[in-house]
Amino acid sequence: MWRALAQAARGVTVSIDCGPRGFTLTQQLLRHSKGSRHITTSTSSRNHQPPSKYGNMSVEKPKVVFVLGGPGAGKGTQCSKIVDRFQFTHLSAGDLLREERSREGSEFGMLIEDYIRNGKIVPVEVTCSLLENAMKASGKSRFLIDGFPRNQDNLDGWNRQMSEKVDMQFVLFFDCGEDVCVQRCLGRGQSGSGRSDDNMESLKKRIQTYNNDSLPIIKFFEAAGQVKRIDASPDADNVFGEVERVFLASGF
Ligand SMILES: Nc1ncnc2c1ncn2[C@@H]1O[C@H](COP(=O)(O)OP(=O)(O)O)[C@@H](O)[C@H]1O
Ligand SMILES: O=c1ccn([C@@H]2O[C@H](COP(=O)(O)OP(=O)(O)O)[C@@H](O)[C@H]2O)c(=O)[nH]1
């Protein structure tokens, strides 16, 4: 039995009770994980992914690459390109949360919206369950986990729930100046992202969260020699040139 206490962005203390309700959470999220829209995976025959070994402890563990960087750094854009070129399935933690927020009957919809609009990081129990369910539902064995882990709570929760079940390869870090990140997010909002956080007010909070909570996690991985840093400021094709080099050098 576990209990997560999270301070919601409006100052309300939210308790996610994971005794009996924890079971409900897992069951609820599991029921809705199949056929999710957030999963993008290569359809090209040359990129056919090996069948999933996930869940079977006697065989190879699924490979995971964490994709991190500031809001708007280009994580999603580059993940799509990696999916097209290499044998990976893209799981965006933000997309999974937005999908869960919009799911009819979700008991976490309002909480997730509150966190996203205010640039705060959703308690890991929700995000990690969504990620694990999506991995299982995909039937694949190589994953780009985009936008996670982005604080200590995320990292601790992942280590408790997932680290033994997967083979983490490296962290792909898209390094991008604050001004460029803000302009890209505002541009994404103006071109109709429909996201409730692609506006200046939310962005100020997102940047603050990134600097205070996410950068220390990247530094932690860096100290462990697990970060592949990419300059994310050039245009998307040039950035991908560097990304491609990293994946090829890593044996993919
Ligand atoms: N290298 C790039 N140069 C210019 N614009 C980019 C670049 N990469 C992404 N974008 C644009 O910036 C916005 C944010 O990119 P996205 O991939 O959604 O970022 P993230 O997933 O890191 O939030 C999108 O509108 C995207 O088209
Ligand atoms: O593991 C995650 C990933 C995302 N988010 C929330 O979702 C928002 C949008 O994240 P996403 O990765 O989609 O976008 P980015 O800010 O990187 O452009 C974040 O600001 C957080 O509020 C979260 O709480 N946990």
Rounded CA gap, 136 and 165, in Å? 11
Position 197, amino acid: D
pTM, to two decimals: 0.86
Q: Tell me the domains of the chain and their CATH numbers.
A: 2-249 (3.40.50.300)
The SS3 assignment for 85 reads: helix
> Whose atoms come closest to the Cα of 188: which ligand?
1
Kindly tell me the sign of the dihedral angle through the C-alpha atoms of 173, 174, 177, 181. negative
Distance CA 46, CA 250 (A): 19
- Rg, the chain, Cα only: 17
Residues flanking ligand 1, CB < 6 Å: 69, 71-77, 184, 187-188, 235-236, 239
Q: Which residues line ligand 2 (CB under 6 A)?
A: 71-72, 75, 92-94, 97, 115-116, 119-122, 127, 147-148, 150, 154, 197, 206
In ligand 2, which atom is closest to the CA atom of 146? 12
Count Cβ neighbours within 10 Å for each residue of 157-172 and write b for 16 or more, e otherwise: bbeeebeeebebbbbb
Tens digit of each residue's pLDDT (9 = 90 or more) over 47-99 = 455 555 555 545 799 999 999 999 999 999 999 999 999 989 999 999 999 99
Q: CA–CA separation, 10 vs 239, rounded Å?
A: 37
Atom index in ligand 2 nearest the CA of residue 75 equals 17
Q: Are 156 and 124 in contact (CB under 8 A)?
A: yes
- Could you give the 3-state DSSP secondary structure of residue 16? strand
CA–centroid distance, residue 211 to ligand 1 (Å): 19
Q: What single-letter amino acid sits at 43? A: T
From first to last of its 252 residues, what are the pLDDT tens digits of the chain? Answer: 233 323 332 222 233 433 333 334 544 554 444 434 445 554 344 445 555 555 554 579 999 999 999 999 999 999 999 999 998 999 999 999 999 999 999 999 999 999 999 999 999 999 999 999 999 999 999 999 999 999 999 999 999 999 999 999 999 999 999 999 999 999 999 999 999 999 999 999 999 999 999 999 999 999 999 999 999 999 999 999 999 999 999 999
| Distance (Å, whole) CA 227 – CA 173 | 7
92 CA to middle of ligand 2, Å? Answer: 9
Helix (H) or strand (E) run with residue 59 in it? none
Does 247 belong to an annotated binding site? Answer: no
Q: Is 31 annotated as a binding residue?
A: no
From the CA of 26, how far away is ligand 2's center (Å)? Answer: 21
The angle at the Cα of 132, spanning 127 to 135, to the nearest 5 degrees, equals 125
Provide ipTM, 2 decimals.
0.99
Q: Is 98 annotated as a binding residue?
A: yes
